Amino acid sequence: MKQLTRVERYCLVGHLVSMAFGLAGLLWVMPHPEVLSLIPSGQTLFRWSMAGGGVVYILLGAIAVALYAHRTLGLGRWLAFMIPAIGISLSSELLGTSTGFPFGNYSYLSGLGYKIAGLVPFTIPLSWFYLGLTSYLLAKSGLSAWAMRKQQPLGWLGQIGAIGLGALLLTSWDFVLDPAMSQTALPFWYWHQPGAFFGMPYQNFAGWMGTGAVFMTVAALLWRSTPLVLSASQLNFPLAIYLGNFAFAAVMSIGAGFWIPLLLGILLGVVPAITCWKLAQLEQPTPTALTVSEVTVSPLDEPIEQIAA
């Protein structure tokens, strides 16, 4: 387990560092190619970065989150989230790139890896998974901690609220990422019919909210037998992933001069995410809360470190 934890941390660091290098390439090197002459093998490194940088940072993020989920949630709960998230998001993306529903009319360009059915890069469902899980864990843990402070169960309304908030956190990241990534000097996708929101159709947001809500609902149903509240220390990793990816999108938006999407993303994404983390930080497990030794789990489910009744 210690070795897996070490790999998880290395992947997290690699994920964040590769995003930083990607930003440097897109926003600094591309507008000023003369700097490559100052770097040993600069041209070769830049070609490698542009050809595979997007694939590397997504793969590292997905591996890091998968290892974290296995360690913290257990094998069964990890797979119960990852498989629906990848399957449902891939289905939505294939439908979207084929018909325009539910996101609008768009196509992926090169730079994100092999395209499934010639339409959707294989890395895209992985990004849905790792950003979706971190968003959902932050939302559900924050609302669960709030309910515990009131000495009340989360309830079905709270479960719906966690799904809605998790989907909003996920979509808020897209507020900031999509306009910039589709209009950068080296775009990764393009809209056949540009929309009114900085080139994006408003339909795109509904598609993101709906897709995220569907696979989070599936996870909530599969996890319903063991409600959970993760501590603040356990939420440090999801928060780091969320804020790291948001920062990547924010720098891209700033470089493109898109300030309104950035402000919306901060208001609807960053602020709620940090608030959920703070709620979990304030809430400590009560003496009557179930501990790992007091519950029985299936062989597929390694125990969650903190489980709330």
The pLDDT tens digits for 77-102 are 999 999 999 999 999 999 999 999 99
pLDDT band at 217 (very low <50, low <70, confident <90, very high): very high
Mean pLDDT, residues 15-30 taken together: 75
Judge whether 232 and 142 are in contact, CB under 8 Å: no
Domain contains 56: no
Mean pLDDT, residues 18-35 taken together: 66
Domain contains 64: no
Judge whether residue 288 has pLDDT over 50: no
Total domains in the chain come to: 1
Judge whether 307 and 226 are in contact, CB under 8 Å: yes
Return the structure tokens found at 161: 């609220």
Domain contains 307: no
- DSSP-derived 3-state class of residue 86: helix
Mean pLDDT, residues 183-203 taken together: 86
Domain contains 42: no
195-234 as b/e: b if 16+ CB within 10 A: bebbbbbebbbebbbebbbbbbbbbbeebeebbbbbbbeb
Domain contains 162: yes
Mean pLDDT, residues 213-240 taken together: 88
Domain contains 67: no
Mean pLDDT, residues 115-138 taken together: 97
pLDDT band at 180 (very low <50, low <70, confident <90, very high): confident
Domain that includes residue 265, residue range: 74-294
pLDDT band at 306 (very low <50, low <70, confident <90, very high): very low
Q: Would you call the peptide bond into 102 cis, given omega within 30 degrees of 0 as the criterion?
A: yes
Site of tokens 């790139």: 97
- DSSP-derived 3-state class of residue 35: helix
Higher pLDDT, residue 89 or 150: 89
Judge whether residue 185 has pLDDT over 70: no
pLDDT band at 296 (very low <50, low <70, confident <90, very high): very low
Q: What are the pLDDT digits (tens) for 259-285?
A: 999 999 999 999 999 999 999 887 554
Domain contains 178: yes
Domain contains 41: no
pLDDT band at 289 (very low <50, low <70, confident <90, very high): very low
Judge whether residue 18 has pLDDT over 70: yes
Cα dihedral 165, 166, 168, 173 sign: positive
